[in-house]
Chain A
Amino acid sequence: QSALTQPPSVSGSPGQSVTISCTGASSDVGSYNRVSWYQQPPGTAPKLMIYEVNNRPSGVPDRFSGSKSGNTASLTISGLQAEDEADYYCSSYTGSSTFVVFGGGTKLSVL
């Protein structure tokens, strides 16, 4: 099972919006609404930000939203804040014995 494809980096200014893409295959992202997104600031553990494509856990600001079209999922962060600067990873259930696959990660810089 190949890793999901994410852009290595994105950037934006405070107050702007950015979108991070996550491209998989018809066997994972395209087949299941089981895409999740994780935020990892430097030196910390990952934190769940979006689950099941577009659901936010309690405590995650509504500035974070998710979507999916075909084999590509997306995370959009609106009203960028300095505290949003982190690495972001997407993940998908695969339906195979390898179960879960992650994207390569995207470094978000808030300029």
Chain B
Amino acid sequence: QVQLVESGGGVVQPGRSLRLSCAASGFTFSSYGMHWVRQAPGKGLEWVAIIWYDGSKKYYADSVKGRFIISRDNSKNTLFLQMNSLRDEDTAVYYCARDRGAGNYLDYWGQGSLVTVSS
């Protein structure tokens, strides 16, 4: 069965960096695009980024463009989100999700990893 497991969350000071990982299993990881989606405490879902199945294309939400980098290692079935210059408003649960049809829909989601940006 498809499994997505995020890790790497925690408490970090404003301006610092953090890298999230998403370990995938149960499907051919290298055949699917992947997303990051976040949810601030008590708020709705916000799309963050997408990466093509082969890493050739990447797109970002305006709120993270220039600060966050999405990447993947298909040899290790792992998705990453490098988060730099973190701000208070980046505090959220970060979910990885599998893409179907280049942004068409997200069919499987991980359980999420909490990132708290606080001094």
Contact = CB atoms under 8 A, between A and B. Distances in A.
Interface residues of A, number: 27
B72 interface: no
Counting contact residues on chain B (CB < 8 A from A), the size range is: 20 to 34
Contacts, number: 72
A91 B42 CA distance: 18
Interface of B: 35, 37, 44-47, 50, 59-62, 95, 97, 100-101, 103-112
Given A51-B100, A100-B103, 13 more contacts: A3-B44, A40-B45, A45-B110, A45-B111, A46-B37, A46-B106, A52-B104, A87-B44, A94-B103, A98-B60, A99-B47, A100-B35, A102-B44
Interface in A48-63: 48, 51-52, 57
Contacts of A93: 103-104
Interface string A35-48: 01010100001111
